[in-house]
Amino acid sequence: MNIVYRRPESLKKKTMHYCPGCGHSIIHKLIASVIDELQIREDTIIVSPVGCSVLIYDYFECDGTESAHGRAQAVSTGLKRVQPDKLVICYQGDGDLAAIGTSETIHSANRGENFTVIFVNNAIYGMTGGQMAPTTLIGQKTQTSPFGRDPVLAGYPLKMCELLNQLKAPAYIERVSVHDVKNTIKTQKAIKKGLSYQMNGMGYSFIEVLSMCPTNWGTAPVQAAQWVKEHLASYYPLGVFRDNGASEEYK
Amino acid sequence: MGERILMRGNEALCEGAIIAGCKYYFGYPITPQNEIPAYMANRLPEVGGVFLQAESEIASINMIWGAGCAGKRAMTSSSSPGISLMQEGISYLAGAELPAVIVNMVRGGPGLGNIAPAQSDYFQSTRGGGHGDYYVIVLAPATVEELTHMMVDAFDLADIYRTPVIVLGDGVLGQMTEPLVLPEPSTRVIPEKDYILDGAKNRKPRTIKSLRLAPQQALEDHNMELKKKYEEIMKKEVRYEGYMIDDAEIIVVSFGTSSRVCKSSIQMVRENGIKVGMIRPVTLWPFPSEIISDLAKNTGVRAFLDVEMNYGQMIEDVKLSVNGEKEVHFYGRTGGMLPDENELYNKIMEVVNEYCIQET
């Protein structure tokens, strides 16, 4: 019998706490699959953020640590600088990475720290119950933007890939999505590329993953996926912003 | 015994740290400790280490978390406002039981204050400093040599008890140049680091965290474990200097830079044949309560005088230790002002005149 699909070995046999239709569990599985494929489980350390995915270390057969809200990339910097032979995956949500942790994000990227950031953008604060995120769309209703995000009051949704693409140091910046099968497969490829680049010492890789939060969006899972496709992905265009590995210099 | 050399406090402490095996420094500029990052930036590459100027003190302390997770000896340094920014991180380090060494060259506050030497971070340092139930070990040197040797002790204590350790100096200690002999490497036995994150090879995956959600009592249980550890530290790691206390009728209590001025004034008072001595806490937490309690119960001791470069912080610990047995007086200068030996002499004499019958 030829097994074509199974639970990645790097993922613990444990029921996840995520809500039905949430993208985190999908993204976790993709990361675990890549860790298996690259055979790096025994060299990988996962840094978790504050937010829904704070418990990510409970789901991986890898070493892991938490970080204070917004500080995951400072923690990753410390971890990687003192043991450059290990692989560090820094997993963060939009509030963590693009609001309270913007400084750490920009400066880690600007130093070209050799780790891989997985940035999950679902345009809302999930764990605290649905407040406006830096990435919440204009007009999007949340607990703290009850009449819809008004740019006069709250500014505009922050495009992190575009922002980081202004910097010289990052090796790889791509925005992907997990709202359908095709894009989910692309996401896995992006994660693999990011980790491969880290293994080759190429520096900072940043993979933004558009994701669903049906609970806090007040939608059913299917509609949530549809909303990513129609709204989130139209404001946050999918695609490669930077790929030093594909440039002539690295061939 | 090593060679006697002349070094500035902020630079000498770096050599102490390197002798202790510290190879990693993460920090952000702030006066009056800028010589520390500048020295480390030159020196750490020579010993195969890494110096990194962080984007903020908040980032620095979290980089220390990362280095601590990997089991490496790492340090950061700052001065008062920067240490305030680190407090969230220090609370996390205490909660997750990660070692860290943090140097605070205290300056005048509150707020941006000034860049002159002060001791006004006593409360912040000895009461944990951040949120939650915890303490950190606080070492208070009084000379450049003591500061340098203390770095070796600080790294050992941090590893033995898996806790942040603060070395609390001030602008004077950091900037002053004094003769010293560098410390020898430590011979203390450090427990094996069986918690570090270096990849789950041939072992189960490890997690380092401060979050404890379930079961309901998980955090209380953990905090009680921390309490046990703190009690052990209080029992084993109290350090202080007793100066002319054997026959003293008046006991001065002072730490760090202000204790040096006190020594000069005590010598002046002693020349009058008056018996004054001093307890100089070397660990501010754990506080040397026992010796102060014992002295308070001693019938030969008539009163205490607490001297600080703030307007009265350590005096609370002194009063708790004296426990009403004797009066505790206070003299302090604040806002980055140093007392001089004459004003302290006058203050000691004032206390002497109130409590001691002078033989004429």
CATH number, domain with residue B81: 3.40.50.970
Distance CA(B75)–CA(B66), nearest Å, equals 11
Contacts of B99 in chain A (CB under 8 A): none
C-alpha distances out from residue B178 to A178, B6, B7, B175, B280, Å = 63, 5, 6, 10, 20
Mean pLDDT, chain A, whole residue set: 97
- Across the range B34-39, mean pLDDT stands at 98
Domain count across chain A: 1
Whether the predicted pLDDT of B310 surpasses 70: yes
Helices (H), chain B: 9-19, 35-43, 57-69, 80-96, 122-126, 144-161, 171-175, 218-236, 256-270, 289-297, 315-322, 341-355
Structure tokens at B281: 């806490």
Distance CA(A100)–CA(B148), nearest Å, equals 37
Residue B136 near residue B158, CB atoms below 8 Å: no
pLDDT tens digits, residue range A33-61?
999 999 999 999 999 999 999 999 999 99
Q: Is residue A6 part of a domain?
A: no
Whether the predicted pLDDT of A1 surpasses 90: no
Whether the predicted pLDDT of A250 surpasses 60: no
Q: Is residue A250 part of a domain?
A: no
pLDDT tens digits, residue range A88-106?
999 999 999 999 999 999 9
**Which is nearest to B236 in space by CA: B290, B316, B183, B190?**
B290
Q: Is residue A114 part of a domain?
A: yes
The pLDDT confidence band at residue B354, using thresholds 50, 70 and 90, is very high
What's the pLDDT at B356? 82
Contact B67 A107 (CB under 8 A): no
Same domain, yes or no, for B227 and B279?
Answer: no
Contacts of A38 in chain B (CB under 8 A): none
Residues contacting residue A109 through CB under 8 Å, at least 6 positions apart: A164, A167, A169, A170, A204, A206
What's the pLDDT at B117? 96
Whether the predicted pLDDT of A206 surpasses 70: yes
What's the pLDDT at B254? 98
Contacts of A104 in chain B (CB under 8 A): 55, 58-59, 62
Same domain, yes or no, for B282 and B227?
Answer: no
Q: Quick one: closest CA in A to B202, which residue?
A: A42
Testing the interface with B: which of A46, A77, A105 to mutate, by most B Cβ within 10 A? A77
Residue B67 near residue A83, CB atoms below 8 Å: no
Q: Is residue B266 part of a domain?
A: yes
Whether the predicted pLDDT of A227 surpasses 90: yes
Domain around A206: 24-243
Q: Domain containing B256 — which CATH number?
A: 3.40.50.920
Whether the predicted pLDDT of B329 surpasses 90: yes
High-pLDDT (> 90) share of chain B, %: 98
Q: Is residue B25 part of a domain?
A: yes
Same domain, yes or no, for B274 and B166?
Answer: no
Q: Residue B288 carries which side chain, given as an amino acid letter?
A: P
Domain around B192: 4-200+222-236
What's the pLDDT at B199? 97
Contact B59 A74 (CB under 8 A): yes
- The shortest CB-CB distance from A82 to any of B50, B54, B62 is to B50
Contact B65 A71 (CB under 8 A): yes
If you count residue pairs, one on A and one on B, with CB atoms under 8 Å apart, how many are there? 129
Using beta carbons and an 8 Å cutoff, which residues of B are at the interface with A? 23-24, 26, 50, 52, 54-56, 58-60, 62-70, 72, 74, 88-89, 92, 96, 197-202, 205-211
High-pLDDT (> 90) share of chain A, %: 96
Bridge-based pairing state of the strands A124-125 and A131-132: antiparallel
Q: Is residue B360 part of a domain?
A: no
The distance of A146 to chain B (nearest Cα, Å) reads 30
Q: Is residue B193 part of a domain?
A: yes
- Across the range B35-62, mean pLDDT stands at 98
Contact B69 A65 (CB under 8 A): yes
Contact B207 A57 (CB under 8 A): yes
pLDDT tens digits, residue range A153-182?
999 999 999 999 999 999 999 999 999 999
Contacts of A80 in chain B (CB under 8 A): 66
Q: Is residue A3 part of a domain?
A: no
Same domain, yes or no, for B136 and B38?
Answer: yes
The pLDDT confidence band at residue A5, using thresholds 50, 70 and 90, is confident
Bridge-based pairing state of the strands A124-125 and A63-65: unpaired
Whether the predicted pLDDT of A201 surpasses 70: yes
The pLDDT confidence band at residue A247, using thresholds 50, 70 and 90, is confident
Contacts of A198 in chain B (CB under 8 A): none
Contact A103 B200 (CB under 8 A): no
The distance of B46 to chain A (nearest Cα, Å) reads 15
> B79 vs B355, which has greater pLDDT?
B79
The pLDDT confidence band at residue B119, using thresholds 50, 70 and 90, is very high
Contact B200 A62 (CB under 8 A): yes
Q: Domain containing A96 — which CATH number?
A: 3.40.50.970
Q: Is residue B145 part of a domain?
A: yes
Distance CA(B109)–CA(B288), nearest Å, equals 26
What's the pLDDT at B1? 65
DSSP string computed for B307-334: EESSSSSTHHHHHHHHTTSSEEEEEE--
Same domain, yes or no, for B128 and B44?
Answer: yes
What's the pLDDT at A4? 86
- The shortest CB-CB distance from A103 to any of B26, B55, B89 is to B55
Report how far Cα A132 is from the mean position of its chain's Cα atoms: 18
Domain count across chain B: 2
Structure tokens at B144: 């450049």
Whether the predicted pLDDT of B26 surpasses 80: yes
What's the pLDDT at B2? 86
High-pLDDT (> 70) share of chain B, %: 99
The pLDDT confidence band at residue B255, using thresholds 50, 70 and 90, is very high
The pLDDT confidence band at residue B358, using thresholds 50, 70 and 90, is low
Residue A70 near residue A99, CB atoms below 8 Å: yes
Q: Cβ of A27: how many Cβ atoms within 10 Å?
A: 24
Q: Is residue A129 part of a domain?
A: yes
Contact A68 B88 (CB under 8 A): yes
Contact A71 B58 (CB under 8 A): yes
Same domain, yes or no, for B174 and B245?
Answer: no
Same domain, yes or no, for B150 and B259?
Answer: no
Contact B96 A66 (CB under 8 A): yes
Whether the predicted pLDDT of A249 surpasses 70: no
The distance of A182 to chain B (nearest Cα, Å) reads 32
Q: Is residue A189 part of a domain?
A: yes
pTM beyond 0.80: the answer is yes
Same domain, yes or no, for B297 and B281?
Answer: yes
Q: Quick one: closest CA in A to B201, which residue?
A: A42
Coil vs helix vs strand at B5: strand
- Across the range A205-227, mean pLDDT stands at 98
High-pLDDT (> 70) share of chain A, %: 98
Contact B64 A78 (CB under 8 A): yes
The DSSP output letter for B196 is -
- Across the range B197-218, mean pLDDT stands at 96
Instruction: Find out whether the peptide bond into B110 is cis, omega within 30 degrees of 0.
Output: yes
Q: Cβ of B129: how many Cβ atoms within 10 Å?
A: 25
Is the ipTM reported for this complex over the cut 0.90? yes
- Across the range B109-118, mean pLDDT stands at 96
The distance of A215 to chain B (nearest Cα, Å) reads 22
Contact B62 A78 (CB under 8 A): yes
Contact B207 A107 (CB under 8 A): no
Say how many CA atoms lie within 13 Å of B216 toward its Cβ.
0
Q: Is residue A50 part of a domain?
A: yes
The pLDDT confidence band at residue A251, using thresholds 50, 70 and 90, is low
- Across the range B113-134, mean pLDDT stands at 97
Whether the predicted pLDDT of B132 surpasses 60: yes
Q: Quick one: closest CA in A to B60, which residue?
A: A74
Mean pLDDT, chain B, whole residue set: 97
Single out the residue in B187, B214, B236 at which a domain terminates.
B236
- Across the range A50-75, mean pLDDT stands at 97
Contacts of B207 in chain A (CB under 8 A): 57-58, 63-65
Contact B69 A79 (CB under 8 A): yes
Q: Is residue A54 part of a domain?
A: yes
Contact A74 B211 (CB under 8 A): no
Structure tokens at A148: 């819809």
What's the pLDDT at B359? 56
Whether the predicted pLDDT of B289 surpasses 90: yes
